[in-house]
Amino acid sequence: MSDILILQLITGVLIGLGAGYLGSFMILKRMSLVGDVISHVALPGIAIALLFKINPFFGAFGALLLAVLGIWFLERKTEIPSETLVGIFFALSLAVGILITPEPELLEALFGDIAKITLIDVLITAILTMVMFFIIAKIYRGLTLSVISKELAQSAGVNVSKTSFLFLLLLALVVALGLQVTGTFLMGALVIVPAAAAKNISVNLKNYTLSASLFGALSGLIGILIASYFNFHPGPIVVLTSGVIFIISLLFKK
């Protein structure tokens, strides 16, 4: 097994863990489409990063951060639902991104290119994934209460607005990290599909979030191994692997 394949596998597992875990809350909050759409918002940032030859992660996260701030601010000031705001940002970002992305790099931006992964990329992914889990642990109580009822969370002293912002910020982080694996078109699926599979077999919240993380990690690991063996592009294979896991989970649906 080559060193580059090992780096790819580690990255795929880390991204799958984070994406599956956050995806479990996305489904509980009925924000599945938001998870799919928000990944496209990163396209202009990736385009700018490619133009200036810097790490696409920083460009993607910058674009996603601006979008999250915009969505959070406008939702508070206008009371427009977050799903509507995400749809607006998605359409505008996709148009701008396709317009400014150099044609030779457009395929990489849309579907990722894990072949260019480096040790620095893996270290960044590992550190930021640990940070993501740490922050989720800190806001877990408020997040779960707000899933049940915003009013209940507020009555328990939870700052719902702050919790929602941090959750969107973490979603932006995991999407930006995963774009090198799956690209902007498919990252949303890696957030949602493993979590949907976990929901089929879980009987409580803890089991659900852990299963979602496990299925995300397995999708990344098995998908990249299959892609490497058959010389396929990893992104679509990772997502298809998660789809197979979802279909199998239907057989054990609780």
Tokens, residue 5: 């394949």
- Which of these, 200, 241, 199, lies nearest to 219 by C-alpha position? 241
What's the confidence (pLDDT) of residue 246? 95
User: What CA–CA distance (Å, rounded) separates 126 from 246?
Assistant: 26
> By percentage, how much of the chain surpasses pLDDT 90?
30
Contact 15, 181 (CB under 8 A): yes
In the 3-class helix/strand/coil scheme, how is 31-83 assigned residue by residue?
Answer: CHHHHHHHHHHHHHHHHHHHHCCCCHHHHHHHHHHHHHHHHHHHHHHHCCCHH
107-145 pLDDT, tens per residue? 666 667 777 788 888 999 999 999 999 999 998 888 888
What's the confidence (pLDDT) of residue 91? 77
Which residues are CB-contacts of 230 (< 8 A; sequence separation ≥ 6)?
none
Tokens, residue 232: 């396929």
User: What CA–CA distance (Å, rounded) separates 117 from 98?
Assistant: 23
Longest CA–CA span in the chain (Å) reads 55
7-24 pLDDT, tens per residue? 889 999 999 999 999 999
User: What CA–CA distance (Å, rounded) separates 19 from 213?
Assistant: 7
What's the confidence (pLDDT) of residue 52? 82
71-87 pLDDT, tens per residue? 778 877 777 776 677 77
| Amino acid at site 212 | A
- Which of these, 62, 19, 11, 67, lies nearest to 189 by C-alpha position? 19
| Amino acid at site 139 | I
Name all domains of the chain by residue range, CATH numbers in brackets.
3-250 (1.10.3470.10)
